[in-house]
Amino acid sequence: MNIVLPTSPCLQKADVEGRTYSRPRQAVILAGGRGTRMRPITLDRPKPMVPVLGRPFLEYQIEQLRQEGFERVLLLLGYLPHVVMDHFGDGSRLGLSIEYAVTRPDDLTSSRVSNARHLIDPCFLLLYCDNYWPMRMERLWQRFCAAGKPGMITVYSNKDGYSRGSVILDADDNVTVFDRLRTTPGLQGVEISYAILTDLALELLPDEDTLFEEAIYTPLATQHRLAGFVSEHRYYSVGSIERLPATERFMRREKTMLVDRDGVLNCRPPRAQYVCSWDQWEWVPGAKQALALLNEAGYRIVIISNQAGIARGAMTAADLEALHQRMCAESEAVGGKIAEIYHCPHGWDDGCDCRKPKPGMLYQAQRDFDLDLTRTLFVGDDDRDRQAAEAADCLYAQVSEQCSLLDLTRQLLSKAEQGRHE
């Protein structure tokens, strides 16, 4: 099975205001606060050690960094530092090197960074210890190189109102306003860390004890020297007790397969024609068996389908609903339960965000099921599916006349079985 991984060309060097930087291999994590919003959990442990499915939240971040090619992590600690240091040690257990810089528990974040400045590389990745976002570092680095600015923050688009906005972006996704207090009218996305920063940015560090974001991001934005990397993939947090259930669902990473419909489950009709009723439906040979095998192996099945026939008047939304009810019933009768169906009813030129190759339906499924799209497979049959997967940093596999959904499923399950025995 040929699974396509989302890739971006890696520009080896970034030119920023007369200085040249290599892709960072060091991550710096702000992890020193008292975590008062997480009490009583943080009465005897700092916030990065909040357990998620039996493991400290920080451990998920460090594993992610190692997988994305980082070699060194600098933890900026304050509150109960020994709890973190005793657990992680020098980092060798997790496959990288960990250093520590400890300041007073009530120091603000700019002081933590200033205290450790001699340990920080000229170009580094900055994280908050309470946010996790499924980063593709090469995508971040590509954007940073193209922007040519001393700093770049990752911004959750927040189209769903998940949190309160803190930034305003221009048409090129550069940050024009950063407002930590969230009082400026027109704030859009949410700054979630995963920031690439340079020593040029750190030159703005003040002598007084203040918040790092206000000391660095606010003036950089005012000076038009702060880029944004905008993502529609939801981030997950241990910043408050209320966010814990969703974070645990996300970290559980329940097996899910996203599946296109026409050409994967049913035989694709000719171009500009549509399957409008059940008497026009024809299952691809083996498709129902594939869905049953996936269910048996613990996979959730989610359908992602363009259905422009509604916009073109070939069928109604009720027609599509009736067809899908029959499809689900026949599939479920042989053990292939379909968890959800997302469809785009719009036409080619309607300018919606959901019609593939745009990734809107993938992101909707991500939010509804708390998926990690970077670990989720989307199976399609044409370039629009592939482009949607790439835009969402989603794994992708394509069916063909030589390789059906059943063939892909058997290969996937066979590889999983081999992995269990290795």
Query: Which listed residue (262, 370, 372, 381) is catalytic?
Result: 262
Say whether both 145 and 257 belong to one domain: no
Say whether both 33 and 64 belong to one domain: yes
Say whether both 62 and 173 belong to one domain: yes
Write down the pLDDT at residue 220. Answer: 98
Where residue 8 falls among pLDDT bands split at 50, 70, 90?
Answer: low
Active site annotation includes 121: no
pTM across the whole model: 0.92
Say whether both 390 and 264 belong to one domain: yes
**Structural domain includes residue 155:** yes
CATH of the domain at 143: 3.90.550.10
**Structural domain includes residue 7:** no
> What are the phi and psi torsion angles at 231 (to 5°)?
-130, 145
Say whether both 187 and 206 belong to one domain: yes
Each residue of 192-218: pLDDT tens digit? 999 999 999 999 999 999 999 999 999
Mean pLDDT value across the chain = 94
Say whether both 220 and 284 belong to one domain: no
CA distances to 65, 87, 106, 422 from 102, in Å: 21, 16, 11, 41
Active site annotation includes 106: no
**Structural domain includes residue 221:** yes
CA distances to 8, 15, 125 from 22, in Å: 16, 9, 12
Query: Which listed residue (107, 121, 179, 260) is catalytic?
Result: 260
Of 67, 28, 47, 33, the residue nearest 247 (C-alpha): 47
CATH of the domain at 402: 3.40.50.1000
**Structural domain includes residue 214:** yes
Say whether both 277 and 212 belong to one domain: no
Each residue of 121-138: pLDDT tens digit? 999 999 999 999 999 999
Each residue of 148-169: pLDDT tens digit? 999 999 999 999 999 999 999 9
**Structural domain includes residue 1:** no
Each residue of 390-418: pLDDT tens digit? 999 999 999 999 999 999 999 999 888 77
Mean of the pLDDT values across residues 21-32?
97
Where residue 348 falls among pLDDT bands split at 50, 70, 90?
Answer: confident
Boundaries of domain holding 206: 13-249
Q: Which two tokens stand for residue 9?
A: 């060309």
